[in-house]
Amino acid sequence: MNLDTLNQDELYNELEDLARRQGVTSQDMWNELVDEVIDSHFNIGELEQDQDLIGLRDDLRAKWDVYQSESGEEVQPLNEDPHTLKR
């Protein structure tokens, strides 16, 4: 086992920090960030092939609601309706 292997809590803390800095406002943005972080740590050897990466990915994606409630601010999805006029 690699001593540098990250656990779910460490990854969530990293995701939470990145999401705040990047202004993540939707489940889709959160899911993309989860994928990027897991892939990045896998590519540099901090996550291993024999770990349940699919389960880890699913668990971290499911933490969107936790992030929303802990963020201390209302996270509203962007209005992407092209028919809405901006004034």
pLDDT at 86 over 90: no
Is residue 5's pLDDT more than 70? no
| Residue 4 CB contacts under 8 Å (≥ 6 apart), including other chains | 45, 46
What pLDDT does 56 receive? 94
Q: Is the pLDDT of residue 69 over 90?
A: yes
pLDDT tens, position by position, 25-66: 999 999 999 999 999 999 999 888 888 999 999 999 999 999
Which residues lie closer than 8 Å to 29 by C-beta, 6 or more apart?
19, 22
Answer yes or no: is pLDDT of 6 > 90. Answer: no
